[in-house]
Amino acid sequence: MNKDGKGFGFGINKMKQFAAALQKAQQMQEDAKKLQEELEQMEIEGCSEDDLVKVVMSGNQEPLRVVINPLALEKSPEDLASLITAAMKDAYAKSKANMEERMEELTSSLNIPGM
């Protein structure tokens, strides 16, 4: 004990706070694992402006497939490449935005400043 009659180290309240923080961290780890599994199963579609090309990605930006409308095959190779690139960028942007939104939901429950 110090001269004020107070103990050193963690008091009972600090121990309770620490235990609650540890429990919250364990819950977040479980939630993060569930989120990762959900993202892997998601399919997010991106399209070229004219919908002639569609790209499907998982929620964690893994390319899954490309769907090309037969009309797109009438385009020049350069134009077809541009359509595919546009669809890929659209799918990536949607997938990234979805992941960021889901991560925000996950971390907002922690009430950690700066997250």
Residue 71: per-residue pLDDT: 96
Asked whether the beta carbons of 106 and 28 are under 8 A apart, the reply is yes
C-alpha distance from residue 24 to each of 11, 27, 64, 110 (Å): 20, 5, 34, 7
Per DSSP, what are the bridge partners of residue 44? Answer: 57
Pure H helices in 1-115: 12-41, 77-108
What is the residue whose two structure tokens read 């998601």? 42
Q: To which H or E segment does residue 51 belong?
A: none
- How high is the pLDDT of residue 91? 97
Output the CATH code of domain 12-108.
3.30.1310.10
- Residue spans of the domains in the chain: they are 12-108
pLDDT in tens, 22-81: 888 788 788 888 888 988 999 999 999 999 999 999 998 999 999 999 999 999 999 999
